[in-house]
Amino acid sequence: MGAYILRRLLLMVPTVFGIMAISFVITQFAPGGPVEQALANISGQNSAMTERISGSEGGDFTAQPGQRGGSGYRGSQGLSPELVERIEKQFGFDKPPLERFGMMLWNYLRFDFGDSYYRDVSVIDLILEKMPVSISLGLWMTLIAYGISIPLGIKKAISDGSRFDIWTSTVVIIGYAIPGFLIAIMLIIVFAGGSFWSLFPLRGLTSTGFDSFPWWRQVLDYFWHLTLPIIAMGLGAFATTTLLTKNSFIDEIGKQYVTTARAKGLTENQVLYRHVFRNAMMLIIASFPGAFVGAFFGGSLLIETIFSLDGLGLLGFVSVANRDYPVVFATLYIFSLLGLVIALISDLAYMWVDPRLDFESREV
């Protein structure tokens, strides 16, 4: 077991390196980088940006009429070469790409992510500020979806072909087919002050004056704000996990060892929960890391936007659009590590479900 864990940990190094290297190369060829955006803002007479850059170290770099920048950047025409160099230095683009990539990796190994290009705050503080929203959405959605889907999937497998199985399958398939953002809009119209009732809030995770509430009211207020976003996000995962659980159990119930266990006089509950459950849950556990990471980050963008929740999904989208590379690479690095660690935890959970697994002889 120890050797397997060590191999997996060592494998994370080249995996993360490859992810960061590919992403870094792509950004080098992406048009409209931070330097070009700064030049475009200055050319558009954005006084705030001009003062921030020109006054950062003193000196007047305002372009004179007819003056042309000497760089190859689009938008540098009419700007002094000194100003272009100042902008490159401010964003760190005065160094060769390989040197910048090496410095980024060295800093990231020490979890030093630098500062955002466009916000006066460090990247790690910015991520920590947005983290509660994404943790709340991803964690509760995953726990609730699995907590309901697994028992429901087992019940559907036991009563395969019954009325209960047919109508629940219809409901979960319809829920899966409807996009999450459309469900979110429908929930707002019906329950959040749209055309019918105003039962749930539409913005943020907490109400005004949350800190002054007693603890029990804080808990109720927190879940009151989460109800509609979790429902909108969870229906797709709810359907997927339910049908996956049902099919896994049906596959195991039809195997020979189940017939043998019944012939020995074991009750249906003993057969189901002593033998079938352990084997059928292997596939469910394998799907957990992807479901959690997807809900934690990628799947929450539209929901965060619709419900005015300022989390990591919205932060990542805005950062990519604004070419805020420190935020983009930091979130990519953190979530790559998080995904790999959760995948390792998932493999270790296999052994808890089925101790017969031999990790020492398994190839990574």
Q: In whole angstroms, how far apart are CA 240 and each of 103, 107, 206, 243, 251?
A: 42, 40, 30, 6, 17
User: DSSP assignment, residue 302?
Assistant: H
Q: Which residues of the chain have pLDDT under 50?
A: 45-70, 364
pLDDT at position 275:
79
Q: Check: CATH 1.10.3720.10 for 124-353? A: yes
Q: Give me the residue spans of the domains in the chain.
A: 124-353
pLDDT at position 216:
92
Spatial CB neighbours of 90, under 8 Å, sequence gap ≥ 6:
38, 53, 56
pTM of the model: 0.70
**Structure token pair of residue 116:** 């955002």
- Residue position matching structure tokens 């005065």: 94
**Structure token pair of residue 19:** 């992810």
Instruction: With CA atoms as reference, report the closest residue to 17 among 110, 108, 111.
Output: 108
**Structure token pair of residue 52:** 């921030």
